[in-house]
Amino acid sequence: MIDTKSLTQLGAHVETPLSPEAAVLETVPFSRGDGPPAIVRFTCPEFTSLCPVTGQPDFAHIVIDYAPDALLVESKSLKLFMTSFRSHGAFHEDCTVMIGRRIVAVTKPLWLRIGGYWYPRGGIPIDVFWQTGAPPEGAWLPDTGVAPYRGRG
């Protein structure tokens, strides 16, 4: 059984952090085992942040794939972190890369990639991609499943 005593958010009532900087990403141990690394995917199809200039909401479909080494990001803490962007003003590129870098900082994965598929503002969708390097050899990397923009239906 995994020791979860250090987790402060799972199983507790926790208010949404006021900012991504204030959000706490928690981790749990992971045992990789032998063979090719596992790929873990988080999909956030209703991600929201604010335009730093107008304060208007921006919407994205975020897909995070990572190959954990010794730590997994705890999913409730990730959800609270992602939700904290609803009151955060930043450009699409900054939000997307910030998410990837924060997960890397706490989990130290073998590899991570993030795709931010942003819905149009002014008629132009912006897609932002960031990864830590080449994917691990032997890992199965499925397509992100997000179609090129055609209404993102």
Residues involved in catalysis: 51, 58
C-alpha to C-alpha distance for 49 and 142, rounded to whole angstroms:
27
92 is in an annotated binding site: yes
* Secondary structure element (H or E) that encloses residue 44, with its range: strand 40-50
Residue partners of 143: CB distance under 8 A and separation at least 6:
none
74 is in an annotated binding site: yes
46 is in an annotated binding site: no
61 is in an annotated binding site: no
The angle that helices 92-107 and 75-83 make with each other, rounded to 10 degrees, is 150
Torsion of CA 128, 42, 89, 60, to 10 degrees: 60
Backbone angles phi, psi at 117, to 5 degrees: -100, 95
Residues making up the annotated binding site for substrate are 73-75, 92-93
